[in-house]
Structure 1
Amino acid sequence: MIGIEFPTLPRPRGPLSRAVVDLLGGRTGAAIAVNADDADPYGEDLQLALYMCYELHYQGFESVDPGWEWDPSLLGFRADLEHRFLAALRRDVAGGQELKEELDALLVEPIDSTGVSQHLRDHGEWWQVCEYFVHRSIYHHKEADPYAWVIPRLRGQAKASLVAVEFDEFGGGRGDRIHARLFADLLAGAGLASGYLYYLNVVPASMLAVVNMMSLFGLHRDLRGALVGHFASVEIASPPGARRMVDALERLDADPACVLFYTEHVEADAVHEQVMRRDVIENLLTQEPELTASVVFGIQATNLLEDRFTEQVLGSWQSGHSSLRELDSGGAGCPGTNR
């Protein structure tokens, strides 16, 4: 029988994340003396600290007592981190009630739009593709997991339809078709390590923030509308990006396992887009119209953080640098390159 391999605690990136590492590693008492009052809400330190706190609700870390998941002192610290992060998200998006406009905008791509998938399709090199895989690994290793938290918070058709989408995300009942499993196969096909959160140390805050947003929305019932908005934005925007990744990978003669992951998303998410828009969102807001602004917020926050991620990655590549943090220590470089 194959045992489960748990990730090790990551290296700290500042006082907040160091406090969490020390606490979970048993090097301090059950209290955290630092606070997040002056921390950058999108910065490396706060985002890593928050990611570790949330990971206790997923697979956890090697040699870390599962009891920390509900430790009152750690939850209080996490709440401070969440407050600062959430306040920044609310500050930096427009907000409002214009849901139809937000959903329609997800279907429109400007002719001159630039993004990571466009770059990889048109100009990308193999080492850049591998870096993108590394970035996305901390998301795809737990793909669809945060959305499961919203299921008991929905009713009627909205619940049934979201579960139908989740059923596809989890392989339609087949363990070898779970999307997280397909991404692990993609990593192996690319010559990268496929272990759960293996690359956590090298992934920067811009990607941590995307996953933290999902966990934040999923763990708070009052943010259920935002989680539905985020989920819808992913499903609506995913097929074109996945199609571009298929083109990029075929151009670079990638392993079939790499191509399969994205062809799966081209096909599945094209159906999910209609289900999320018509069966989940419309039914949810028929029952609870007061959640409209929350759904809009979830879409806008997703766009904000994905845009920040894109800017960071493309900015690094355009300047000739890696978009990852510490290639030499995490083994994140692609086989056959010096990056």
Structure 2
Amino acid sequence: MQLPVARGRVSAALLDVLGGRAAKLPAFARFDGDEDLHLTLFVCYELAYRGWDGVDDRWEWDPGMLRLRTAAENRFLGFLYDLVGEPGEHVDPARVPDELARIVEEDDGPGLSGYLRGRATYEQFREFVTHRSVYHLREADPHSWALPRLGGRAKAALVEIQTDEYGGGAEPRMHQELFKRTMSWFDLDLSYGGYVDSVGAPTLAVNNLMSLFGLHRARRGMILGHLAAFEMTSSLPNRSYANGLRRLGGDADATAFYDEHVEADAVHEQIAAHDLCGSFAAAEPRRAGDVLFGARCALAVDSLWAGSILDAWQNGRTSLRTRAVEPVLAG
């Protein structure tokens, strides 16, 4: 993946260093807004995934890079605490599956899936797919960081979920590969991270949240709660996405990714709530509050992202930052 274009002073300094135009990272007191913050975080985090073209892999563990990443993470965490509150310290582990169900039931985020099912134009749906490509082309990877940090029943449950996400070992069935079929129907660039420059801070924040939780052992409960919230709120929206694509003339290739999730996530919902998060909370009761915090963050950050997309469309604007994909007018 090529290094993106800077969005502020901090991300510019970071990209200058990684691009070989500067020798070291300067000290910064603040970021130039959310775009600067979340691009900085995304660039730092990607060093732990597939990396950047022409960038030495050793930057992943560079002390200066880690200091910058920590500063950005602390800023993001402060935002999350303001958004959903801090993790609860006295949560009954036995109540975790029921509390997850309650959090999901009470979620009243914007109706993006309904809009895509019944109203979105071809161009708007194409924008949606563009946004989601930043995650779906590495789908399951952020949650897999939790695997070596678990044991027993919780580990087995996560393996069961992730096995489906990775297509049971068959490359064409991997969800990352299924999503490429949707992108191909929209004639989009299939390159990993090809649209990072096209999406705004809300989209990057959705991705950064998973890395914030997944890359830290201390936040292993949070990434499990995040995964549970994803699985417990996925089946019905994916049915809407598939039906919306069929309304627009989408063929079996176009809808394969979403149709797969309708069935798979209905099963994963129970595994994630009970076998994964319930077992984890029972084994590590002090982390029970982290699980619920991760779930609340997943829903809240995704809601902000969906709201930003709908707001753009309802005001006749593109939801993308650049013209890398044709802009759109609300239909």
The TM-score with structure 1 as length reference comes to 0.91
Supply the distance in 2 between the matched residues of 1:88 and 1:31 (Cα, whole angstroms): 24
Matched, 1:182 2:182: no
Matched, 1:12 2:12: no
| Partner residue in 1 for 2:62 | 71
List structure 1 segments (4+ residues) > 3 angstroms apart after TM superposition. Answer: 94-99, 107-110
Supply the distance in 2 between the matched residues of 1:320 and 1:256 (Cα, whole angstroms): 30
Query: 3-state SS of the aligned residue for 1:45?
Result: helix
Supply the distance in 2 between the matched residues of 1:13 and 1:308 (Cα, whole angstroms): 20
| Partner residue in 2 for 1:202 | 198
| One-letter amino acid matched to 1:324 | L
| One-letter amino acid matched to 1:170 | Y
Matched, 1:81 2:76: no
Q: CA deviation at 1:147?
A: 1.1
Tell me if the contact between 1:106 and 1:236 (Cα under 8 Å) persists in the aligned partners: yes
Tell me if the contact between 1:107 and 1:237 (Cα under 8 Å) persists in the aligned partners: no
Q: CA deviation at 1:35?
A: 3.5
Q: CA deviation at 1:241?
A: 0.5
Supply the distance in 2 between the matched residues of 1:184 and 1:14 (Cα, whole angstroms): 31
Tell me if the contact between 1:239 and 1:266 (Cα under 8 Å) persists in the aligned partners: yes
Supply the distance in 1 between the matched residues of 2:237 and 2:316 (Cα, whole angstroms): 24
- Matched ranges for 1:292-311 at <5 A: 292-311=288-307
| Partner residue in 1 for 2:162 | 166
Q: CA deviation at 1:144?
A: 0.5
Q: CA deviation at 1:292?
A: 1.3
- Matched ranges for 1:244-259 at <5 A: 244-259=240-255
Supply the distance in 2 between the matched residues of 1:300 and 1:317 (Cα, whole angstroms): 26
Q: How many residues align?
A: 323
Supply the distance in 2 between the matched residues of 1:250 and 1:108 (Cα, whole angstroms): 30
| Partner residue in 1 for 2:326 | 333
Tell me if the contact between 1:32 and 1:77 (Cα under 8 Å) persists in the aligned partners: no
Extract unaligned runs of 5+ from structure 1: 1-6
Tell me if the contact between 1:190 and 1:255 (Cα under 8 Å) persists in the aligned partners: no
| One-letter amino acid matched to 1:315 | D
Distance 1:34 1:255, change over 3 A: farther
| Partner residue in 2 for 1:229 | 225
Q: CA deviation at 1:338?
A: 8.9
Query: 3-state SS of the aligned residue for 2:282?
Result: helix
1:115-154 deviation per Cα after TM superposition (whole angstroms, max 9, x unaligned): 2111011211110100000000101111110111111111
Matched, 1:23 2:21: no
Find 1:61's aligned residue among 52, 55, 58.
52
Supply the distance in 2 between the matched residues of 1:263 and 1:104 (Cα, whole angstroms): 26
| One-letter amino acid matched to 1:103 | A
| Partner residue in 1 for 2:237 | 241
| One-letter amino acid matched to 2:2 | T
1:235-294 deviation per Cα after TM superposition (whole angstroms, max 9, x unaligned): 110001001011101111113222000001001111111111111111111111111110
Extract unaligned runs of 5+ from structure 2: none
Tell me if the contact between 1:184 and 1:195 (Cα under 8 Å) persists in the aligned partners: no
Query: 3-state SS of the aligned residue for 2:146?
Result: helix
Q: CA deviation at 1:108?
A: 6.4
Query: 3-state SS of the aligned residue for 1:247?
Result: helix
Indicate the RMSD between aligned Cα atoms, in angstroms: 1.8
| Partner residue in 2 for 1:90 | 81
Query: Between the two proteins, what is the percent identity of the paired residues?
Result: 40
The TM-score with structure 2 as length reference comes to 0.93
| Partner residue in 2 for 1:288 | 284
Q: CA deviation at 1:109?
A: 7.1
Supply the distance in 1 between the matched residues of 2:291 and 2:69 (Cα, whole angstroms): 24
Find 2:315's aligned residue among 307, 315, 319.
319
| Partner residue in 2 for 1:278 | 274
| One-letter amino acid matched to 1:312 | S
Q: CA deviation at 1:92?
A: 1.5
Query: 3-state SS of the aligned residue for 2:28?
Result: coil
1:138-191 deviation per Cα after TM superposition (whole angstroms, max 9, x unaligned): 011111101111111111000011011001101101011111111122111211
Q: CA deviation at 1:222?
A: 1.0
